[in-house]
Structure 1
């Protein structure tokens, strides 16, 4: 009841005790989020209220809300140590995960609270459980660069090289993120320095790609293989040249085999010239790379003009020519690179969030091809007026679809045009979305549309994982009136004003509502 919730929020233990004694059943009544008073008490750190509530109804200790969250997960997420301790001592299940399969231990690593991590492990928490994305607690600790928690987890039996759904191991994550401390820790404990992700990329490749010169230097000092090519045939030197990381290029030139470069069919000079990396071009020429190197036939065929020489790349850029997929506008390039800073800057200055690729027609904005690699990026595009409805307007509907070719989430369309066929017939959204990540992506998109019907391909994707049944239900049922109103208001405001909506003369609550921020509690859970 409302009075019980108020008593819990105020930490009024006497009142909670009296109400629980007079009507023990009312503490089991959930609100619209599936929360019972125990969830409220755990979330707000009212440990004595937790004790009283469990004394009245011990059986509710592992009760979940609509997102599969127990009181323990909420207390861990909020770092309410006393509540965590109380719940564990009363028998809370330390391994009961939410609907994203995130356990209390995983959430403790996410929050970076070593005290709670130890507490959970001491109460028998399983250390190697995977979340829905395939990540373990150790991977989460590595992504936060928390060496202390990494030490605790490894001592508790955490595996050093578990991989997530993309084949990414903790060492890869550390290198990719530039986390030197955790990288040294993993190397010290024997993690495989040359492990590869699903797309063949190594930790060295990712460090070079992201410009982490100190990480590249550390990996090379530990004999990381600079001549391992990814599935696209590119070496770390290639990506460093493309990104203009001249310091990293200088390090990699010394350990990269020119024979392996020649086998790749593309010189790092091509990539440096294509991206106007003048300093890198000079370094490569000084190191003896041939300015007249030609693209291999298969790589040349990737461009409509069948370009081959480094000179052509340089001239095309200097003259402002943008052939083939280089017709991508800057926003598409920023999205492809995964740079939220550049994406934000471009959108704020009027970039078209509904940009298409003229040479490869799609029934939905091309921005989504790259934006859906990161849910935060996808949500940002949607918040700024990207067309979500087109993703559900499939011409095949509930009928049979063309054969599905699973593609890597990390595909770069500069070198892989298989995803978008150039036949004049628009590609449907359901043809490019990956089965491995369909659920969370569709879940986000559904927040920005009214009632839609999922085509048979999207339904097939959601059927592949039992936990995604709730997303199908979300699409199946009528959309809430609050959402329909929000969509209508956003439509009336217009896409151009959505970018600067916080500057409009609207009440703050309305602005939060239009930006899907009307209830903080919904955002954090």
Structure 2
């Protein structure tokens, strides 16, 4: 009887001392009345009151909220037995609600409890982050609903405790709100997922023991097990597997936990997953399996482990890439060496026709290229339509270029038509790639190895001339580049090299010295007759190093038309003067005469074109013609006096005293 009276008295004190939900006191203002109760008893008392609030208050809260949330799971076996019946009896009648992010009146805490206030989100996060268990217990006793206030990410206090690894805080919150164990944030992150990602082993174990579901995924389909395999933690993996985490559940990209473990070269976790029933050949949306993932990331240990499990080492992904291809691309030398030792096929092509050797060359992995050359079929390389030489020249891999040449790859092999069409200028040789990159060293390597500079639709010499690279031009000329090459898409009646060097007299003279045809510049269909107005802008002819997708011209442009362009006409006199040194009997057309007449200082140039012509000049032209363009550089070897050789090479304008 005394015990019943004491209980009745305690309940009366409780009901009078705790504030009601309108924020007013019921009479007592001395918090010490609860000093006889332990913290756990006070929390349990708060739980009782949170489920026995008067219905009018709940209805007022319900009408003030924009939305509701329902608990993700029913109270579990770890909930205090003393309150299971009460929770079950009231949960259906009184749903829990998502409360405002800040207390309705945080500035006015209950006057009866001077050491406790209604915290806002930031204060509560600070309490949890610092592991202030004492303060959190007071908050849980006086305002248990404040633990359900969500931040902008939808995290409540349980998420924060899981994120910061505060196990004691987790226990307090789960004691008050056990139904929140699977509460998801806006990104569908559960407290368990946050603890797993942050490697808080004790928190993971606590949450699982309180009924956390290990198979709830975030918005990207990533489960706690998936996340912890991507940042390997064996203890947490073991916990999750013991509590029923699925090894088959994949993320939105189709990746499984085994993919992640293999990608991190963690043999132990891979073994745990396989023992739990993981499928070693499961693929993601790109057809990549765990073995492929390990090769892609350089996981030598996992590769060795998975080979024992019978995985196909030549597995091809959706794009046709193999583990060997991926290892070669990413520069994993040890993986390539191991795969080749296990007879991995180096001649499987991707969907775009490339072999592992191609991608190793492209990425500049010298050691891997050295390993792949002996096991790669040159016949299969030829069928791909592109040689490793093309890629080494395109990517400026000079040291690999030499290695491939030493291995016997043909320096004059051309791209297939399909691959050549992928380039606007229709390039086809490795030499063209080197010249286009202005790579003098690679150009020299290829030319010395016997590269023919005249195989491309657009002669590499014209690229060098257009860019004004004298060293490159000299090398190409010395190795027999066609001085009179033309541009098929923009035909003209004279060599394209002259067109491209009109503003550089030094280049122009070099071309003339080496056999460029100057006479064609003076062949004009109109002669001394009036010329029609110009229709073509010379600027259209200067696009050779860039896009060549214009509609080809049907008519040839003559020299007199090209030199009449505004950007070139001011050089007309000196250009004609240089050209006249390399021709005999020619007649200037009316347009060229107009140019020479436009400037008084050019009058002597016009006289230079008129007969009679110097016999010495005519003899020099005849001798050079007999020698031929391809042997002009050999004139120095003729058994002739030095002064005569200099004259033939245009090092002297006149030959005197001979």
Pick the TM interval, shorter chain.
0.5 to 0.7
Is the Cα–Cα contact under 8 Å of residues 328 and 359 in structure 2 kept in the other structure? Answer: yes
- Report the equivalent of 2:370: 250
Is the Cα–Cα contact under 8 Å of residues 263 and 296 in structure 2 kept in the other structure? Answer: no
Choose which of 299, 305, 313 in structure 2 pairs with 1:185.
305
- Report the equivalent of 2:176: 56
Is the Cα–Cα contact under 8 Å of residues 412 and 429 in structure 2 kept in the other structure? Answer: yes
Choose which of 203, 215, 219 in structure 1 pairs with 2:339.
219
Choose which of 388, 391, 401 in structure 2 pairs with 1:281.
401
Distance 1:231-1:17 versus aligned 2 partners, 3 A rule: same
Question: Over the residues paired in the alignment, what is the CA RMSD in angstroms?
Answer: 2.4
Tell which has more relative contact order, 1 or 2 (C-alpha 8 A, sep 6+).
Answer: 1
Post-superposition shift, 1:301? 1.0
Choose which of 421, 434, 444 in structure 2 pairs with 1:301.
421
For structure 1, list consecutive stretches of 5 or more residues without a partner in the other structure: 325-421, 424-525
Distance 1:244-1:6 versus aligned 2 partners, 3 A rule: closer
Q: Aligned runs of 1:63-78 on 2, under 5 Å?
A: 63-78=183-198
Counterpart-to-counterpart distance in 2, 1:28 and 1:318: 67
Counterpart-to-counterpart distance in 1, 2:151 and 2:204: 22
Post-superposition shift, 1:6? 4.0
Counterpart-to-counterpart distance in 2, 1:266 and 1:107: 42
- Report the equivalent of 1:310: 430
Counterpart-to-counterpart distance in 2, 1:314 and 1:43: 55
Is the Cα–Cα contact under 8 Å of residues 396 and 439 in structure 2 kept in the other structure? Answer: no
Choose which of 138, 143, 146 in structure 1 pairs with 2:263.
143
Task: Select between 115-124 and 180-189 the one with higher mean Cα deviation.
Answer: 180-189
Post-superposition shift, 1:99? 0.9
Show CA shifts across 1:278-325 (max 9, x none): 22222222222222212111111111111112222233333689x99x
Distance 1:244-1:19 versus aligned 2 partners, 3 A rule: closer
Post-superposition shift, 1:266? 1.1
Post-superposition shift, 1:156? 1.4
Counterpart-to-counterpart distance in 2, 1:146 and 1:87: 25
Choose which of 13, 19, 40 in structure 1 pairs with 2:133.
13
| SS state at 1:254 partner | helix
Counterpart-to-counterpart distance in 1, 2:366 and 2:125: 59
Q: Aligned runs of 1:429-468 on 2, under 5 Å?
A: none
Is the Cα–Cα contact under 8 Å of residues 153 and 186 in structure 2 kept in the other structure? Answer: yes
TM-score by length of 1: 0.59
Choose which of 162, 166, 172 in structure 2 pairs with 1:42.
162
Show CA shifts across 1:127-154 (max 9, x none): 1211122211111122222222222212
Counterpart-to-counterpart distance in 2, 1:123 and 1:177: 30
- Report the equivalent of 2:327: 207
Task: Select between 90-99 and 44-53 the one with higher mean Cα deviation.
Answer: 44-53
* Equivalences, count: 326
Counterpart-to-counterpart distance in 2, 1:245 and 1:157: 38
Larger Rg: 2
- Report the equivalent of 1:27: 147
Post-superposition shift, 1:225? 1.0
Counterpart-to-counterpart distance in 2, 1:14 and 1:217: 60
Counterpart-to-counterpart distance in 1, 2:322 and 2:431: 30
Counterpart-to-counterpart distance in 1, 2:369 and 2:439: 26
| SS state at 1:303 partner | coil
Is the Cα–Cα contact under 8 Å of residues 225 and 257 in structure 2 kept in the other structure? Answer: yes
Show CA shifts across 1:151-185 (max 9, x none): 22122122212222222222222222222222222
Counterpart-to-counterpart distance in 2, 1:6 and 1:265: 64
Counterpart-to-counterpart distance in 1, 2:316 and 2:211: 41
